[in-house]
Copies of this chain bind each other. A is one copy, B any other.
Amino acid sequence: MREHQETKKEILNLAEGLLRDRGFNGFSYKHISSALDVKNAAVHYHYPTKSDLGVAIIQRARRGFQKWTQNSKMQNLDFPKKLDEFFGIYRYFLKCGQHVCLGGALETDFKTLPIEMQQETRALASDILNWLQELLKKGREAGSFSFPGNPRDQAIVVLSSLQGALQMVRATDPSYLNAAMKQIERMLKT
């Protein structure tokens, strides 16, 4: 018997990995319960429905991203270093075992998701895009970045490319994520 909070957190950790690895329709309560060596019903005790579980994954990720952006270590970095720290998130997913990012998994499965999950997915995408847009805007104003057009459009390209590259890796080569990041850096060079 574990403690409540411990099992609950383990479920969430595992489920998030499964979601990034296999998509929301590609994992089941059985995957979780057998991996944690508990029964199906124990998982349902902590997260009654799969939608509850999905929502919890996304909300935690949003809180984590918020905390990450406000982290004091982050605040002291210059703009290109901040961008590279952001790239680090995607490098981590690759290292995890070629996981895709949460946004990519959720948006691809979007039409099959319960509406509560759809709403959280929208909020997650908005959080990340807004932060990236601000980074690019201020970075260009400070002379650290150079790009044509407006920061929003550039943020869309950068984010969508990272998301897409992380998926593409699976059908091509792991080096393609790094290739995309290097090329993005080149394109933003002053």
Contacts and interface: CB of A to CB of B under 8 A. Distances in A.
Interface of A: 21-23, 25-26, 98, 100, 103-112, 118, 121-122, 124-126, 129, 147-149, 152-154, 156-157, 159-165, 167-168, 170-172, 176, 179-180, 182-184, 186-187, 189
A125 to B, nearest CB: 4
A126 B173 CA distance: 10
A120 to B, nearest CB: 10
Interface core residue of A149, A157, A159 (most chain B CB under 10 Å): A157
A148 B187 CA distance: 7
A185 to B, nearest CB: 9
A152 B7 CA distance: 45
Secondary structure dominating the interface of A: helix
A161 B153 CA distance: 12
Contact of A171 (B122, B165, B170, B189): B122
Given A110-B171, A129-B172, A160-B165, 7 more contacts: A22-B109, A23-B108, A106-B171, A107-B168, A124-B171, A157-B187, A162-B164
Contact of A179 (B152, B183, B184, B187): B152
8 shortest A-B CB distances, which residue pairs?
Answer: A160-B164, A164-B164, A163-B164, A25-B25, A107-B167, A160-B165, A161-B161, A125-B171
Given A171-B124, A187-B187, A26 B111 contact: yes
A183 B111 contact: no
A178 B44 CA distance: 42
